[in-house]
Every structure is written in structure tokens, then in C-alpha cells.
A and B are shown apart, each in its own frame.
Chain A
Amino acid sequence: MTGIPVGAHVVDAPVAREGASRTRPRRRAPRSSLATILVWALVAYFVLPLIWLAIASTKTTSDLFSTFGYAFGNTFALWDNLVQVFTFQNGVYVRWLGNTVLYAGTAAFGAMMLSAAAGYAFAKYRFPGGALIFAIVLGAIMIPLTALALPTYLLFASMGITNTAWAIILPSLVSPFGVYLMRVYAADSVPDSLIEAARIDGAGELRIFWTIAMRLMAPGMVTVFLFALVATWNNYFLPLIMLSRSDLYPLTVGLAQWQAISTAGGGAQAVFSTVITGSFVAIIPLMVIFLYLQRFWQSGLATGSIKQ
């Protein structure tokens, strides 16, 4: 699906502006049992599959078939499964993990910097062509990324740069929505008076952006970074078509390949438990990042700006 970062400024502008500087009074609302039960029933729907995956990754393949999904197996094989994941096919999983970190990290950092610079320029300068360029960028939010992947592949193939890390990183650098979000963010979080004061002190324009504005825009930049990170980390279609060498695969394509081996069977040992444990390990890094950076993305999304 699309990997577009979300922003807070999706309510009517005047409402958002007011809302941004408001702290909601924490009044105690009466609890409702019905709402609580319904929401927690949904929580069960979202969490139970993940619990199944966690339990399944502690089982041997034979226990997987012979024991109930939500009960532990006869042998606790988590460690064996982990060893198998990290050593299967000469430890290619570690390589995939490294590739994923490299692709997603680089692309997210790049997308964040490009969006921050462009968003700041759109918010704080009036220049010929600015409005038109911004309108075009905004329109590009509608361009479906997967429909774009095939054309990009055809272009890259004609240039001979498929099967490189760049084939994944370069297309992931473009985030029209990131530019939009950073524009709104810069407008709210960097006071014009501060820029004027810095100018009077003799600071150059780019230095003002680099040393003052970027610091104020930091929470918004973290939000753009996180969502660009998820988009690239979870991308399957682009690396699938761009890469044919398995040592360049990210985790998504690698795991899909293992699944193909396990369903094909074909005399090889059934690697169900390896695919399952590999899948489980693959989701841990992003979950940790999201939980760890909660403060940033939740407050960043909720208020959308720093109070001036």
C-alpha cells in the first residue's frame, strides 16, 4: 500500500491553528463499559494474530502441526529456531537485515532532509514559481507509488542500475506528502520574528535554516523520518522487481523467497518454523522504534507544532 506519512493538519486550517496552541483540559469523563468492551474486542482482533506468531516461533515444525496454535509445543524451540534463522543459507538473513536497515535508514534520512529543506522554503519564502511548484508537488500525492514502480524499473533497466542499492534508495527519497507536512510544520514552528532577528544579526539565509529552523522543526522531521522509514522497510514490490541477486534483498523479499521454498516443499526440509521465526524477528525492530519514539510521533501528530 502507500507509504505516506500522516500529518495533523488535515482539519480545516483555522481549526487546526487554534487547536495547535490549545492544551485540552484533562477533565474526567465518565467511563463507558460498552465503549470499553467494543474497543478492547478490536484490540484482541489486532493483537491475537501477533500472539499466534510469537507462540508459533517457539515451536518445532512438527509441534506446529500437532499442537494447538495458542498453546506452547512439546519442546520450547525458540532458541533452535533463532539459530536456524540466522544460519540458514549461510546466514543470509543477517545480510537481509543489514540491507533493510541500510535502504530504509538512508532513504528515510534523505526523504526527511529533502522534505525539510523544501517545506521550509515553501513556507518562509515567496519566490517566482513557488506556488505553482507547490501545487504540482501536492498533486503528486495522488500518484500511486506502485503504479510508478514499474515505470521506474523500466527506466532503471535501460540505464543499467537495477541490482544496486540505489535502485531502492533513490525512488524512496521522494515524499510529496513529507514536503506538505514540513511546509505546514515550518510555518507553525519557526517564527518569522526569529528569522528577522537572525538576519539583523548578520546570519546568512542557509545558516538560519541549518542552525535555527531545523532545530525548531525537529519533531516534525522525526515524524517524516519514521513514516518514510516504515514505507521503505515494508516495501516489497520495488525491491522485488529491482533486485535479482539474493544478497541484495531486503527482509521482505527474502522472507517471501523462503516462504516459496517452504510451500514448494520439494524434498527439502520443511522450513515453516524458520519462515515463522524469521517473520517474527523481522517485525521487532520497527515495533521497538515506534514504541521508543512514541512521544515524538504521537505528540507530533497530535499537536503538529511547537508552541511559540
Chain B
Amino acid sequence: MTALHTGRSRRQAAASPRRRRVSPARRSQLIAAYALITPFILVFIAMLVLPLTYAGWISLFQDRLIGGVSFVGLENFERAIRDERFHEGLGRVALFLVIQVPIMLGLALFVALALDSGRVRGARTSRLAIFIPYAVPGVVATLMWGYIYGRDFGPITQVLTAVGLPAPDLLASNTMLGSMMNIVTWEFVGYNMIIMFAALRAIPTELYEAAEIDGAGQIRIAWSIKIPAIRPAILLTAIFSVIGSFQLFNEPSLLYRIAPNVIGTAYTPNLYAYNLAFVNQDANYAAAIAFLLGLVIMVVSYVVQLGSQRAMRGGR
């Protein structure tokens, strides 16, 4: 990742930023560097900075039936902070996160370690098979699981009734969240497993060959050598999962069609923001909700990062 040093050293360049004339070679390199990053930066500003700024701006307004659009300052945010439906959605995704993410990442880590240890028969095929749900669109996964859960022709109900057991309603208010956790776990274990597996393959074998010769078992090697070595990868998957859980939308929005009374319009914050913008036509308030949600996600990801750094320091 070293930058090229042409002609003069970094020190000299820093010491005399303007006095000396830039060499033609250095100048053409500067032009090339800016030319190469400009397209990305333009799109980055247009598609990321601008929408966020715009949403921040319109969240400061309110569109009333009487009086039209007026500037209200932070009133939308105050309303959101006191909005029980927003709280309820946030609480639900937080619960989702606390239960589902550890299960998903635990399974992914187990598979990655098992495959990396070289002790599984048919490792290549099983790796592909576990990864393949990642290529299935979330919409299709949700439709498919919706049918599988369903009591009309779902195989779960069919099997249970065949053996004489009562079939549970997997789309009722007390089971819905668990059913969604299962769908998301099914979709993303493979993706997370591949990230961890790739990181495991990059650990030099010398690090644990000695331990193996000394008779350390696979579980001990995994715990004391491999997991600490791929901590950054695990952290990355944890942060992506935090972001994903808070953004939950596809699953509730599609299962709403099957179980409208269970899901309602504010099951998750994103579903709530969507319904505010498109059903209630309240774009200003929806922008405030989207903004707050983004803020919550960034704060939680940051806390996860800090927590992991502390754990790392404690572990050493």
C-alpha cells in the first residue's frame, strides 16, 4: 500500500510545500490521481451526500393541510423521539439483533472453522451449498419460506399432521419474529461464513502447526489461535449484521400480505418510514425517521466496534 515516491522524499516535499516547483512527472501523476477518483467522488456526492443533506433539510419542515409547508425546526425529531410506534419498531429490531445475529454468526463461524480444519468430507460441495442462499433474492426467500410456513400446503404442517402432532401457526403474533429470524439466518449464514472462511485461509499455517504437533485439539486451536486471528473479519460480519437487522424491510413487508394483522404498518422502523412516506404522504416526518434510524445504526455499529476493541485488549 506504499505510495510511489518520485524524485524527492516525502520529508522534503512536506518541508517545502509550495516553494519548489512541482516536477512535470509529479504533476502528471497528480492529474491522473484526481482524474481517477473524480468519477467515484462525483457519484458518491450525488448519491450519498446530497440525498442525506436533502433529507436532513426537508425533515425540518411540516406539510399541514391548513397553512401548507412551514419550517418547524426539530419538531419532527421531537415527535419521533416520543413516537411509540417508532419505539416499538426499534425495540423489535433490537430484540431481533440480540437473538438472531449471535445465532447466525455462530453458525457461520462453526461452519467456517469446520471446513478450514479439513476434517469434513465433501467440504467443497457443502461450502457451495451453504453459500447458495445468498444468491437467492430476499423477496424469493421470503415468499418461499412464507409458503413453507403456511398451513395450506406448507411441508412443516404436512409433516406434523402426518405424525399426529398439532401444527403451530408460524405466522402468528408470538411466532412471527422467530419465523423472520429463521429466514434471515437462512439467507446470510453462507455469506458470513465465506468472509470468515476467506480470513481463516489467510492465517499462516505455521501459527498453529506447532500447536498441532504438541497435541492440541482442533477446538483448542480454533479457540486460542484461529478465532483471535480472524477477529477483524468477525467484527466486519457483526457490523454488517447490525446494519442489516436495523434495516429489516423485505421480510415484514412481504409477510404483511399473508398476515396483515400481525405485522401492521410499523413492525420495523423501515416499514414504518415507508408507510409514512407512501401511505400517509408525510415525507417530512418519514425523512426524520429515516435520519434517526441511520443515526441509531451508526451509533450501535460504533459501540460494537468499541466493545470488540476492548474485548481484544482484554484478551491479550
Interface, chain A (partner B; CB < 8 A): 1-2, 4, 6-8, 10-12, 15-16, 18-20, 22, 24-25, 27-32, 35-36, 38-40, 42-43, 45-47, 49-50, 52-53, 56, 64-65, 68-70, 113-115, 117-118, 120-127, 130, 133, 137, 140, 142-148, 150-155, 158, 170-171, 173-174, 176, 179, 183-184, 187, 192, 195-196, 199, 204-206, 209, 230, 233-234, 236-237, 240-241, 251-253, 255-256, 259-260, 263-264, 272, 275-276, 279, 282-283, 286-287, 289-291, 294, 301-304
- Which residues in B have their C-beta under 8 angstroms from that of A204? 28, 32
Quote the shortest CB–CB distance from A58 to chain B (angstroms): 14
- Which residues in A have their C-beta under 8 angstroms from that of B290? 147-148, 150-151
Q: Are B247 and A39 neighbours in the complex by a CB distance under 8 Å?
A: no
Beyond A31-B121, A192-B4, A255-B143, list 19 extra A-B contacts (CB 8 Å). A1-B244, A10-B195, A11-B233, A12-B232, A29-B118, A36-B121, A39-B123, A69-B153, A118-B39, A143-B48, A150-B55, A150-B286, A150-B290, A173-B43, A205-B28, A230-B135, A236-B249, A279-B143, A286-B135
Q: Are B205 and A1 neighbours in the complex by a CB distance under 8 Å?
A: no
Q: Are A259 and B257 neighbours in the complex by a CB distance under 8 Å?
A: yes
Q: Are A241 and B278 neighbours in the complex by a CB distance under 8 Å?
A: yes
Known contacts A127-B30, A236-B138, A236-B139; A263 and B126 CB within 8 A of each other:
no
A58 vs B240: C-alpha distance in the bound complex, in angstroms?
A: 37
Quote the shortest CB–CB distance from A120 to chain B (angstroms): 6
Tell yes or no: B270 within 8 A of A by CB: yes
Q: Are B130 and A170 neighbours in the complex by a CB distance under 8 Å?
A: no
List the A residue with the shortest CB-CB distance to B154. A69
Tell yes or no: B86 within 8 A of A by CB: no
Main SS of chain B's interface residues?
helix
- Which residues in B have their C-beta under 8 angstroms from that of A52? 144, 148, 155
Residue pairs across A and B with Cβ atoms less than 8 A apart, 7 shown, are A39-B123, A69-B154, A126-B3, A151-B51, A155-B51, A252-B138, A301-B198
Tell yes or no: B263 within 8 A of A by CB: no
Known contacts A29-B118, A65-B153; A125 and B202 CB within 8 A of each other:
no
A130 vs B200: C-alpha distance in the bound complex, in angstroms?
A: 31
Stretch from B70-78, B173-181, B183-191 that touches the partner? B183-191
Q: Among the listed B107, B147, B277, which residue makes an inter-chain contact with A276, where contact means beta carbons less than 8 Å apart?
A: B147
Tell yes or no: B98 within 8 A of A by CB: no
